[in-house]
Amino acid sequence: MAGSLVGGAALGAAFGELLQAVDNGIINAVQFKSTLTSLRSRLNQLSPMLEEIDNLNRKLGRSEQDTEMFTNSLKKGLHFVNKCEKIPWWNYFKKSFYTNKLKGLEQYIVMFFQIEAQAQMSMDSRRILMGVRGVDEKLERMNTSGGGGSGCNGKGIAGWCEVPGVPNFVVGFEDPLQELKTMVLEGGEQVVAISALGGCGKSTLAKMLCRDKEIKGKFTDNIFFVAFSKAPNLMVITERLLQHNGYQVPQFQTDEEAMNQLESMLNRIGQPILLVLDDVWFGSEFLVERFKFQISDYKILITSRSVFPRFSSTYRLTLLKDEQAMALFCHLAFPQGGSSSYIPDDLVNKIVRGCGGFPLALEVVGKSLKGESEVTWKNKLNRWSEGQSIFYSDAAPNGATDILKRLQTTLDDLDVKIKECYLDLASFPEDQRIPAMALVDMWVELYNLDEVSAFANIHELSDRNLLNLVPTRKDASEINGYYNEHFVTQHDLLREVATRQIDQNPIHRSRLIMDIGGNDLPKWWTEQGQHPIRLVSISTGEISNGHNMQLSKVEVLLLNIQIRNYTLPLLMEKMDQLKVLIVTNYGFCSAEISNFPLLGHLSSLRRIRFEHISISSIAKTMLQLKNLQKISLVMCKFDDAFGNCTIQIADMLPNLVEIVIDCCNDLVEFPAWLCNISSLKRLDITNCHELIALPEAFGKLENLEVLRLHACTKLLELPESIGRLQKFRFLDLSDCISISKLTEQMGELSSLRKLNVRGCRGLSELPSSVKNLKHLEDLICDEETGYLWENYKIHLPNLKFHVLKEDVNLDWLK
C-alpha cells in the first residue's frame, strides 16, 4: 500500500514490503499475532506521513540518499518479520527474542516519524513557503491584478487547514447537525466534542457543520480544519495554521513557544474563530487544552472515538434509525434510483437489519452487493444466518474488511486490562442487556480490583463507545456504591469483534464460550486439549459429557439458560478455583435448579449471582461455603424458601459480608434466621414491593454498615432493634413511600454518616432523637422530605443537604 503512495521510491518500496510481510505474518505466524497486529496498525497510521515526505522530496528535488539510513532499517525489519514465520510456536526463547526485536522496530519507526521526519517536514515546508512568497513578491512587483498572492484567498498554502468536502449523499444528519449547531452557537463551553465509534460519521458531521450557512455566516473565513491524529505534533499543527493564514513561520524550539505564536496569530486575525481538531485519540485530550486561549468568540470543535469527561459539551452521535439505514443502503446498492425491482423487499430488509444501523457496515455491504444477482444476495444472507461474520469479504477472504479495520484500531489503543474487560462482554448472550453488577462481580475476582475500580472500567469502555451504560435512574450513581440499577448494552458488531479476538488466539485462550443446544464441545477444545481457561460461559443447553474437560483453573462460570428446569453441569466438580458463579435465566418463568449440592465442591467460591431463579430447592440444601462473601438474588422467586429453616447459617457461611435481594416480588418479610449472619456488613433489599417488615432480630446484625431498602413501597416501619447497630453508617430509604415515621431508636445510630430519604412521600414526622445523630454528614432528600430536617440543623453541625429531583430514565426498557 505504502509503496504505491510514494511512486516506487526506495523508501516507499521498503515500507510497502514491510507492511506486506507483516500482513502475511499475522496469518502465518500466530504466536506473534498480537505484536505484528500492533506493528501493522502503527504502519497504517504513518503511511499518510510517508506520502507527505515523498511529496516534499519531489518538490525540493531531494535525493533518496537522505533517507537511506531509515530505508536500510526497514529492510532489516523485513528480515526479522520474515524470520517470525519460521519460528515454531513451542520455541519460547526465540519467540521472546523476536518479539523484542519487533517491538524495538516499532519504537524505532515511531521515533523516526515523530522526531526526524517531523523536523525535516517542517524545514521543507518552510522552504516551499519561502519559494511561494518569492513568487508572490514578483507578482506584486509586476502589478498584474493586485490580487491576494498565493491562490488561497489572500492566505498562505491552500489545503492544509481548509474544510474537506462532504459526500454527495448523506442521510440521518439533519437532527444531529441542528443540535450540534446549537451547542456551538449558543453553548457557553469553549470546547464542543462529537463522539462515536469509527465509521459512524463524526468527521462528516463536523464538515457539514463547517459548511452550514449559519456557521459560515458567523465565522466567515476563520474556520480551520486540522487532522489531529493519534500522535499529534503541536509545533507542526501550529506551523500549518500559521502558513495557512499567510504568516511567517519561525523556528520553534518548544511546544510552549509554538502555542504562544498561535495565540498571538488568532488574536490578530479577528474573531469569531472556529478551530476543528479532527480525530482526537484517547489520552490526547490534555493536548486539546493547549489550544484553549482567552479569546472571545473562539470555539474549538473536536471529533473523537472516545468521550472525554473534561469536555462537558459532548454530542454522542448514535447509529442510524431503520429508515435512515435503508435510505443509505439503497443509495449504495441501487445507485440508479435507490431501489430495485429484481431484489425482493424482504431480502433487502433482512440485509439492512444485519448491518445494525452502522453506517460503515451499510456502506461496505451495500457496495459489495451493487449489481449482484438475487442468488448472491441470498447467499450473503445465508452465510450470516449460518454464523459467518459480517466482516468476511469475498474479495479478501483471508483479510479484514474495512469494517473490522476501523473497529480494530479502537481496540488496539486499549490498555491491556481494559481490553480484557471488553472481551469479557462476549460471555453474555447476544442482544441481552448485561447487569453492570454482574460485570463488577466478575472483574473484582478476575483482575483483583475493588468494586469502584471495576465500575470505572465500565465507564471507560462507555467513554470509548464500546458499550452503552444505561442507568434506570439518572441519580442512581449518586447513591454510593450502588450499581444494581445500571445496565450495559452492546452493538452486535462490537460483540462480534470481541468474539473474533477470542477465537484468533487459540494457543493462549483464557475464555471458553459455548452457545450450544446439546452436548457438543467446541472443535478447538477437542483438537488442542487443555487450555488455561479462566472464564467459562455456557448458553442455552445442558452439558452431561463435560466432566472430562480440564477446567481446574476456571475462576468465573456463567450459565445462561432459557429452560424451566436446569441441572447444574457435572464439569463444575473440577472447578476447585471457581470464585464467581452467575446463573441467569432469560426465559419467561422462574427456573428450577437441581444438582445444587455440586456447589459443595467449590471451596474457593466467593460470589454467587442468581437471576430469575426459584430458590426453594436451594434453601433446602444450603451448603457450607466458607469462603462465600456475597450472594445476589435478582428477580428470584422465594415462595416459602426460608420459612421454617433450622440451619445454623452462621456456621455454613462464616465469611458472608453482603446480600443483595432485588426485584423479588414475593418477598414479604426478611427471614429472621438470616439475622444470625453476624459477619454481614452490607444488605441491599431493593424494589421488593411486597416487603412489609423487617424482623426484630434485625438488631443481631452487629457488624452491618450499609442497609439499602430502596423502593420497598409497602414497607411500613423500621424495627426498634435497629438502634443496636453501632457500626451502621449508611441507610437508604429512598422511595419507601409507605413509611410514615422513623423509630425513636434512630437517634442511637452513633456511626450514621449518610441517610437517603428521597421519595419518602409518606414521611410526616421525625423522632426528636435524630438530633443525636452528631456524625450525620449527608442527607439525600427532595423538597418534600427536606423541610422536616430544618428544625434539627442547629443540632447537626456537619449535616449537608443534597436535594434531588426525580429523573426516571426509561431507555433501559428498550
Q: What is the DSSP string of 144-176?
A: SS---SSSSTTSSSSSSSSPPP--S---S-HHH
Rounded distance, CA 164 to CA 221, Å? 14
Query: Looking at residues 215-227, what average pLDDT do you find?
Result: 90
Q: Which fold has domain 414-494?
A: Arc Repressor Mutant, subunit A (1.10.10)
Q: Which range scores top for mean pLDDT: 113-122, 429-438, 610-619?
A: 429-438
Place of cell 447459617: 649
Distance CA 350, CA 374 (A): 13
pLDDT value, residue 290: 92
Rounded CA gap, 230 and 253, in Å?
22
Segment 727-754 mean pLDDT:
92
pLDDT band at 45 (very low <50, low <70, confident <90, very high): confident
pLDDT: which is higher, 735 or 601: 735
* Burial state string for 59-78 with b = 16 or more CB within 10 A and e = fewer than 16: eeeeeeeebeebbebbeebb
Give me the pLDDT at residue 69, please. Answer: 65
98 band by pLDDT with thresholds 50, 70 and 90:
confident
Question: For the residues 169-186, what does the mean pLDDT come to?
Answer: 92
Where does the pLDDT of residue 401 fall: very low under 50, low under 70, confident under 90, or very high at 90 and above?
low
Rounded to whole angstroms, the Cα distance separating 547 from 696 reads 46
- The predicted pLDDT at position 393 comes to 52
Assess whether pLDDT exceeds 50 at residue 151.
no
pLDDT at 600 over 90: no
The arithmetic mean of pLDDT across residues 680-685, rounded, is 95
Taking the alpha carbons at both ends of the chain, their separation in whole angstroms is: 44
Q: What is the pLDDT of residue 715?
A: 94
Better pLDDT: 107 or 137: 107
Distance CA 654, CA 632 (A): 17
Task: Give the pLDDT score at 153.
Answer: 36
Look up the CATH architecture of domain 157-316. Answer: 3-Layer(aba) Sandwich (3.40)
Provide mean pLDDT across the span 800-812.
Answer: 65
Q: State the CATH architecture for 322-403.
A: Orthogonal Bundle (1.10)
pLDDT at res. 246: 81
Region 639-663: what's the mean pLDDT?
A: 79
Residue-wise pLDDT for 290-317, tens only, equals: 999 999 899 999 999 899 988 989 999 9
pLDDT in the model for residue 150: 29
322-403 with 414-494: one CATH topology? no
pLDDT, position 178: 94
**How far is C-alpha 161 from the geometric centre of its chain's CA atoms?**
31
Mean pLDDT for all residues in the chain: 80
Which of 170-174, 502-506, 534-538, 671-675 is the least confident region?
A: 502-506
| pLDDT of 508 | 59
Q: Which of 86-100, 534-548, 571-585, 629-643 has the highest mean pLDDT?
A: 571-585
Q: Give the mean model confidence (pLDDT) for residues 703-712.
A: 94
pLDDT at res. 752: 94
Banded model confidence at residue 413, pLDDT cuts 50, 70, 90:
confident
Q: Which residue has the higher pLDDT, 537 or 544?
A: 537
Q: Give the up-direction half-sphere exposure of residue 286: CA atoms within 13 A in the CB hemisphere.
A: 1
What does the pLDDT read at residue 574? 81
**Residue 271 pLDDT grade (very low, low, confident, very high; cuts 50, 70, 90):** confident
Residue 573's pLDDT is: 83
Mean pLDDT comparison of 38-42, 100-104, 269-273, 713-717, highest-scoring range? 713-717
User: Could you tell me if 663 and 641 are in contact, meaning their C-beta atoms sit under 8 angstroms apart?
Assistant: no
Evaluate if residue 17 carries a pLDDT over 70: yes
The pLDDT confidence band at residue 629, using thresholds 50, 70 and 90, is very high
The more confident residue out of 7 and 40 is 40
Asked if 305 and 465 count as a contact pair (C-beta separation under 8 A), the reply is: yes
CA distance 656 to 681: 8
The better pLDDT of the pair 390, 176 is held by 176
Q: Identify the residue with better confidence: 73 or 51.
A: 73
Least confident of 110-124, 620-634, 741-755: 110-124
Taking residues 338-365, report their average pLDDT. Answer: 84
Q: In the predicted model, is pLDDT for residue 642 greater than 70?
A: no
Q: Report which listed range, 129-133, 172-176, 335-339, 569-573, is most confident.
A: 172-176
Least confident of 248-252, 333-337, 785-789: 333-337
Q: Who wins on pLDDT, 766 or 122? A: 766
pLDDT > 70: what percent of the chain? Answer: 79
* Mean pLDDT (whole number) for 673-696: 91
Nearest one of 751, 759, 685 to 718, comparing CA atoms: 685
**Does residue 192 register a pLDDT over 90?**
yes
pLDDT at position 440 is 95
The ranges assigned to domains in the chain are 2-134, 157-316, 322-403, 414-494
Question: How high is the pLDDT of residue 114?
Answer: 59
> How many whole angstroms separate alpha carbon 227 and alpha carbon 488?
32
